[in-house]
Amino acid sequence: MGSRSASSSTSPTRGGRTPSSGAASTRKPSAASSGTSGSAWTSTASRSSSPDFVGLRKNSLEDYFFSCRMPYSEPRSLVLELTEHKRLRSSSLLSLEMVAVELVQKLASVISKLVPANREKEVLCEENKQLRWKIENLDAEAIADLEGEVKELNLALMDKQREIEELKKYEEEGEEMVKALEELDVENKELKTQIGQMKGF
């Protein structure tokens, strides 16, 4: 009995394979390998269900990193644009102040020259009227002397008239500078409005 059971345990089975070889072929995976594969599957599943991977192609790292950069690229460009608007605003304010100072200086110079020139013109006109009145009441010799004086006064009056015309040209240039100053002020207000809209975003 004992010998028969021993021989049956060592005899080959159908197909020429022993039970030991069959057990080796159907061997279960080790705990280490099963743990590794399970954790890898779990991490992959969790990443695939995370919001960063929603709507992306499978195994597309480029799309993933692009989606990660998108939320940070827009605020950065917004900050750069806002900084550029601030720089333009500061430069426009500086140019506005320079134009205003120059305009005030030119207007002050024109006014300081125009007022005495008008006074001198009025004085010369009054003297001319008095001389004409004297001419009508004096004899020919005195008339000749007075006519010479009148000519000199007329020449001086013409010189003053030319000077006044030049001063009026300066005054017109001052008005043009005032218009340019107003245009710069409008541009400055537009820049402030744009910066306020950018801050609202």
DSSP 165-189: HHHHHHHHHHHHHHHHHHHHHHHHH
pLDDT at 46: 45
Query: Which two tokens mark 80?
Result: 């750069």
Distance CA 84, CA 94 (A): 15
CB 184 within 8 A of CB 95: yes
Cα–Cα distance, 123 to 157 (Å, whole number):
10
The rounded percent of the chain whose pLDDT value lies above 90 is 2
Amino acid at position 124, single letter? L
pLDDT digits (tens, 9 = 90+) for 130-171: 888 877 776 777 777 878 888 998 898 898 888 888 888 888
197 or 46: whose pLDDT is higher? 197
Among the listed residues 176, 184, 37, the one whose alpha carbon sits nearest the alpha carbon of residue 98 = 184
Q: How many CB atoms lie within 10 A of CB 165?
A: 9
